Amino acid sequence: MADNAPLVIIGTGLAGYNLAKEFRKLDTERPLLMISADDGRFYSKPLLSTGFAKGKDADELAMQDAATMAEQLNAKVLTGVQVSAIDPASRTLTVEGRSQPYSDLVLATGAEVRSLPWREALGERLLSINDLGDYGRFRAALKGRNKVVIVGAGLIGCEFANDLRLGGFEVTVVASDPWLMPQLLPEAAAAAVQSKLEELGVRFYLGCAIESIALEADGLRVRLDSGTELVADQGLSAIGLAPRAALAEAAGLAVGRGVQVDRQLRSSDPHIYALGDCAEVAGLNLMYVMPLMTAARALAKTLSGTPTELSYPAMPIMVKTPACPLVVTPPLSSAEGSWQCSGEGSDVRAVFVDGSGQLHGYALTGAAVAEKLQLTRELPAWLG
Ligand SMILES: Cc1cc2nc3c(=O)[nH]c(=O)nc-3n(C[C@H](O)[C@H](O)[C@H](O)COP(=O)(O)OP(=O)(O)OC[C@H]3O[C@@H](n4cnc5c(N)ncnc54)[C@H](O)[C@@H]3O)c2cc1C
């Protein structure tokens, strides 16, 4: 490793940039290099699923360009380039065929969308939105079109259903799931959200497998296993995300659901760290903003010379379905217990409790959202 090798962060999403900001509060001098496959603009990814209601294009959602970020962070920011390999033994990266040394390396490579088998053949007619560039492409593809079919009824599919409808589009959601957001919600809470979205005009086909999606005229024809056929102008695929860990895996690092790191965010190599969507921190892969902000603060301390263990409180997720306010703190997969649901109409209070009455998670819809603070106080820490 060269003597003056920089600290290198791969990724300029919320994880990469927030880490850099926190790090610069503690260390203004150490050379810092950030490398991104995208254009390095700083933006808040959660705003991508509220942009249609607000009529905002990609440029309006971008908060800073890469050059401004570089200046503010006293960093070099390389954009539009892929890191293709990591060699932990020599502490070097391969970037566009060139070798780049690092002193410490942080992986903030995010997650990639899972693809439907018809994706390639359908080109611009079936897209996913997982970054600002995708959002711009989807908006361009939607010009002059009205009927959108969303494949997937998870958090992202539901948020876009609400947002596109508010933006004036005709929206149909198709999913093999039995109810909305089944990884997060019990059926009663999901039913409340579904009925409010239906009141807004969103149509749902749940529990259906897609047999085929084909180009037709200037749009799409979607055939479901129930025999139903749907016609749409544009498709949005939202069938889930997987941590982007191939680079780490090829370098011989321990990878499970994501890049496996300990509570100091350190991987199986002592000079390589990971945070954000790509990381599995002490067994938890949490693809949300609050966990990565907490991780960025802890890792900044470790990288500036104060080894710091990460703690996670239980962190509520505010789902952006304004048709039906929804807040959820899902139970960790290790928690044992069951959902208990009460409430009326669209105001559902669902709590996940174990045999001794200890609360492990909740989902609140409509007016029941008011109980968020009280219930959050009763939850055990995710990483105490
Ligand atoms: C539509 C949408 C709405 C959301 N809403 C919410 C919400 O309301 N609340 C919430 O908590 N969370 C929400 N999330 C999740 C949240 O936005 C993510 O958890 C977070 O933004 C992930 O940030 P990241 O930096 O880990 O990943 P990313 O933002 O994906 O950044 C990854 C970076 O790594 C770079 N990269 C990857 N591989 C390479 C390589 N080989 N070489 C160079 N660069 C590379 C990419 O170019 C990119 O810059 C939402 C997600 C989406 C998609």
The SS3 call for residue 202 is: coil
Structure tokens at 33: 């290099």
Q: Give residue 300's Cα distance to chain centre.
A: 22
Assess whether 97 and 73 both reside in one domain: yes
Assess whether 205 and 283 both reside in one domain: no
Rounded-to-integer distance, Cα 98 and Cα 83, Å: 10
In ligand 1, the atom with minimum distance to the C-alpha of 110 is: 27
Residue 132 CA, ligand 1 centroid: distance in Å: 10
Assess whether 107 and 14 both reside in one domain: yes
pLDDT, one tens digit per residue, over 39-83 is 999 999 999 999 999 999 999 999 999 999 999 999 999 999 999
Residue 195 region by backbone torsions, left for phi larger than 0, else alpha for psi between -120 and 50, else beta: alpha
Assess whether 246 and 212 both reside in one domain: no
Assess whether 122 and 158 both reside in one domain: yes
The residue contributing the CA closest to ligand 1 atom 51 is 46
pLDDT higher than threshold 90 for residue 154: yes
Q: Which residues are within 8 A (CB) of 19 and not within 5 positions of it... i.e. 6 or more apart? A: 9, 106, 108, 275, 295, 296, 299, 300
309 within some domain: no
CATH number of residue 366's parent domain: 3.30.390.120
In ligand 1, the atom with minimum distance to the C-alpha of 275 is: 26
71 within some domain: yes
The residue contributing the CA closest to ligand 1 atom 16 is 288
pLDDT at 334: 86
Residue 21 CA, ligand 1 centroid: distance in Å: 17
Rounded-to-integer distance, Cα 104 and Cα 9, Å: 9
Assess whether 210 and 287 both reside in one domain: no
315 within some domain: no
pLDDT, one tens digit per residue, over 293-344 is 999 999 999 999 999 999 999 999 999 999 999 999 999 988 999 999 999 8
Assess whether 98 and 158 both reside in one domain: no
Q: Give residue 229's Cα distance to chain centre.
A: 31
pLDDT at 234: 97
The residue contributing the CA closest to ligand 1 atom 19 is 288
Q: What is the DSSP string of 211-264?
A: EEEEEETTEEEEEETTS-EEEESEEEE---EEE--HHHHHTT--BSSSEEE-TT
Residue 346 CA, ligand 1 centroid: distance in Å: 31
Backbone angles phi, psi at 52, to 5 degrees: -75, -40
Strand order in the sheet with 203-206: 126-127, 234-237, 147-151, 170-175, 203-206
Residue 162 CA, ligand 1 centroid: distance in Å: 21
* Domain membership of residue 337 as a residue range: 325-378
Residue 13 CA, ligand 1 centroid: distance in Å: 5
Residue 343 CA, ligand 1 centroid: distance in Å: 35
**Per-residue confidence at 29, pLDDT binned at 50, 70, 90?**
very high
Assess whether 154 and 14 both reside in one domain: no
Q: Give residue 277's Cα distance to chain centre.
A: 7
pLDDT higher than threshold 60 for residue 1: no
> How much is the CA Rg of the chain, to the nearest whole Å?
22
Pocket test for ligand 1, best of 45, 61, 164 (most atoms within 8 A of CB): 45
92 within some domain: yes
Residue 184 region by backbone torsions, left for phi larger than 0, else alpha for psi between -120 and 50, else beta: alpha
Number of domains making up the chain: 3
In ligand 1, the atom with minimum distance to the C-alpha of 16 is: 25
Rounded-to-integer distance, Cα 266 and Cα 273, Å: 4
User: pLDDT averaged over the chain?
Assistant: 97
Assess whether 330 and 231 both reside in one domain: no
311 within some domain: no
**Per-residue confidence at 359, pLDDT binned at 50, 70, 90?**
very high
**Per-residue confidence at 217, pLDDT binned at 50, 70, 90?**
confident
Ligand 1 lining (C-beta closer than 6 Å): 10-16, 35-38, 45-46, 48-49, 82-83, 108-110, 129-131, 156, 244, 247, 276-277, 287-290, 292, 317, 320
pLDDT at 289: 97
The residue contributing the CA closest to ligand 1 atom 7 is 46
The residue contributing the CA closest to ligand 1 atom 8 is 46
Which of 237, 252, 278 lies at the terminal end of a domain, its last residue? Answer: 237
pLDDT higher than threshold 90 for residue 4: no
Which of 190, 222, 237 lies at the terminal end of a domain, its last residue? Answer: 237
pLDDT at 254: 98
Assess whether 331 and 361 both reside in one domain: yes
In ligand 1, the atom with minimum distance to the C-alpha of 241 is: 53
Assess whether 121 and 168 both reside in one domain: yes
**Per-residue confidence at 202, pLDDT binned at 50, 70, 90?**
very high
Assess whether 187 and 297 both reside in one domain: no
CATH number of residue 200's parent domain: 3.50.50.60
Nearest to 132 by CA among 70, 85, 79: 79
Residue 134 CA, ligand 1 centroid: distance in Å: 12
Pocket test for ligand 1, best of 48, 64, 65, 289 (most atoms within 8 A of CB): 289
pLDDT, one tens digit per residue, over 103-151 is 999 999 999 999 999 999 999 999 999 999 999 999 999 999 999 999 9
